[in-house]
Structure 1
Amino acid sequence: MSELVSTLALTKADAPASLIAAPTTRGWFGRLLRSPSALVGGVLLLVVVLMAVSSPWLFPGDPLDMVAEPFLHPGVDAAHLLGSDMLGRDLLSGIFHGARVSLLIAVVSTLLALLLGVSGGLLAGYYGGLADAVLMRVTEFFQTIPSFLFALAIVAVVQPTLLTIALAIGVTAWPSLARLVRAEVLKLRHSEMVQASAALGATDLRIMLRDILPNTLTPILVSTSLMVATAILTESSLAFLGLGDPNAVSWGNMVGSGREVIRTDWYITTIPGIAIVVTVLALNLLGDGLADVLDPRDRK
């Protein structure tokens, strides 16, 4: 028995690096900078994050306050560069504060989806049997209903606040990630690395967290960027339909409030719409760049 344990330990030590740990950071940042899509996406996303972080200092007032003449077009008043909406609210202030709200909802909902999807996929793929069957049935149930309609129904039933909107988006976004993680775990479940750890007395939790999970980080990271982009679009769609938080300024709320005057005052809807497009584009470009950089087949 001791010879078997020693052999397995040596096997684990001699196993390929791609099976033992996640991609190392050696050269990772340099490869990311050399990826055009990742570089452009990262710069655009950094600008949006800086807008969200600096909004309380650049625009300390309430963005819902009426501070200008209604229907003030962009460039007419230097104090309000992007103009004002039908109630006289400053659009530039709304864009900066809206970045904060939209990103907050997207990040919270994505973290919830990651918690549910990663934990569910790990348990189902590692243990199989009943746990796997139950997870598959649950994910099939969630995927039979379009995620947007499911989130819309949840928000319509409860009071639309930032928290309930984030929870609704997160609860409906995890099934695809759970299936992805489960597929990755099934590939690694019977690898020599896992067998060696089990023979050395490692617990199931340690094996899942130390041996299996790091090797699934590449698809998880790529999926995360896309999930954040999808969450921003979902929140904007809900707000456009009047299911946003009325006490907070988000890009979706701004687009929805200006839809009735879009033919005469197009800028009220177009400006926050451009902010949504740029942010979603940045996240998609960053996701594509991460997929290229973290792909082990492309490493030299």
Structure 2
Amino acid sequence: MSTLTLPHPYPSAARSVLARLRRSPSALAGSLLLLLVLFMAASAGWLFPGDPLDMVAEPFLRPGVDLAYPLGSDMLGRDLLAGIFHGARVSLLIAAVSTAIALLLGVSGGLLAGYYGGWLDAALMRVTEFFQTIPSFLFSLAIVAVIQPTVWTIALAIGVTAWPSLARLVRAEALKLRHGEMVRASIALGASDARILLRDILTNAATPILVSASLMVASAILTESSLAFLGLGDPNAASWGNMVGAGREVLRTDWYITTIPGLAIVFTVLALNLLGDGLADVLDPRERK
């Protein structure tokens, strides 16, 4: 005898979120811009298979003069368009790795401090206060200046200085949720601490974490660009920051060498900020009612 399977009375949470994202102008615009940047990063090796640091054209070739190099070349004859595409890959890699490090440190530290409290909470607050007494950019600059600047060390420096604010945010959410009915019910049922932290607290704190993560990626791109502008970028990588830094010496005469990668940074950061604003609106519990 066959059984009749009735459809679930409530729509999937994922479908609901995607539907609200499509109706959010900020999220839609940010997603489209970010998809364009991701396409550039993914297609860089295919569209520009050579080394973007190779000298392939006449130096100081202005945009539109030679169709083979639509965006022109820099003072060493490097193709700016190839650098923009490959720079998207490097800049996004640094931003993604540094954000992952900050998320690992901030989320784990905030969860443990907010849930257990006591000496662990006090110790974490002292550590975060120490990190926050020093501006994160200056802290990153000091770390990169001490060790050799490479893609991975720059990502590490940005990540280990960006987590304190996220840790405080997650701690506040854990403090609020640990005395809630959901956590009390799980404790009464004998659930382990790890299950409570991951299922009951982390799941319900996912909204501010996601929004913060999108903004941290944007901040990491800006920090890497600032470090490279000061000469602390990876000299073997074609990042947008390195391109901006390389063109600062000829900014008055050949502005496009700095402006073009600068615009790439602006549009990427704008996309991430728009996406973060859209996520904040879409995932706001008040918008679900």
Q: How high is the TM-score relative to the length of structure 1? A: 0.92
**Counterpart for residue 78 of structure 1:** 67
Give the counterpart letter for 2:97 in structure 1: V
**Counterpart for residue 229 of structure 1:** 218
1:28 aligns with 2:17: yes
**Counterpart for residue 166 of structure 2:** 177
- 1:213, 1:62 → 2: CA distance? 43
**Counterpart for residue 278 of structure 1:** 267
Segments of 4+ moved more than 6 angstroms: none
1:192 aligns with 2:175: no
Q: Superposed, which structure 2 residues align to 1:12-51 within 5 Å?
A: 24-51=13-40
Give the counterpart letter for 2:279 in structure 1: L
Instruction: Name the % identity.
Output: 82
**Counterpart for residue 294 of structure 1:** 283
- 1:26, 1:78 → 2: CA distance? 45
Give the counterpart letter for 1:51 in structure 2: M
- 2:265, 2:14 → 1: CA distance? 31
Return the match for 2:44 from 49, 55, 69: 55
2:13 counterpart SS class: coil
Aligned residue pair count: 279
Report the alpha carbon displacement of residue 57 of structure 1 after superposing the two structures with TM. Answer: 0.3
- 1:206, 1:237 → 2: CA distance? 41
Report the alpha carbon displacement of residue 31 of structure 1 after superposing the two structures with TM. Answer: 0.6
Report the alpha carbon displacement of residue 26 of structure 1 after superposing the two structures with TM. Answer: 3.6
Q: Deviations over 1:86-133 (max 9, x none)?
A: 000000000000000000000000000000000000000000000100
- 1:298, 1:163 → 2: CA distance? 40
**Counterpart for residue 152 of structure 2:** 163
CA RMSD for the aligned pairs?
Answer: 1.0
- 2:146, 2:118 → 1: CA distance? 35
**Counterpart for residue 3 of structure 2:** none
**Counterpart for residue 7 of structure 2:** none
Report the alpha carbon displacement of residue 295 of structure 1 after superposing the two structures with TM. Answer: 0.2
Q: Deviations over 1:177-221 (max 9, x none)?
A: 000000001110011111111111111111101111100000000
- 2:282, 2:171 → 1: CA distance? 23
Return the match for 1:263 from 252, 255, 262: 252
Gaps of 5+ in 1: 1-22
Return the match for 1:151 from 140, 147, 164: 140
1:127 aligns with 2:116: yes
**Counterpart for residue 240 of structure 1:** 229
Give the counterpart letter for 2:162 in structure 1: A
Gaps of 5+ in 2: 1-11
Q: How high is the TM-score relative to the length of structure 2? A: 0.95
**Counterpart for residue 92 of structure 2:** 103
1:87 counterpart SS class: coil
Report the alpha carbon displacement of residue 25 of structure 1 after superposing the two structures with TM. Answer: 1.8
Report the alpha carbon displacement of residue 24 of structure 1 after superposing the two structures with TM. Answer: 2.4
Give the counterpart letter for 2:139 in structure 1: F
- 1:261, 1:25 → 2: CA distance? 50
- 1:25, 1:130 → 2: CA distance? 38
- 2:180, 2:20 → 1: CA distance? 29
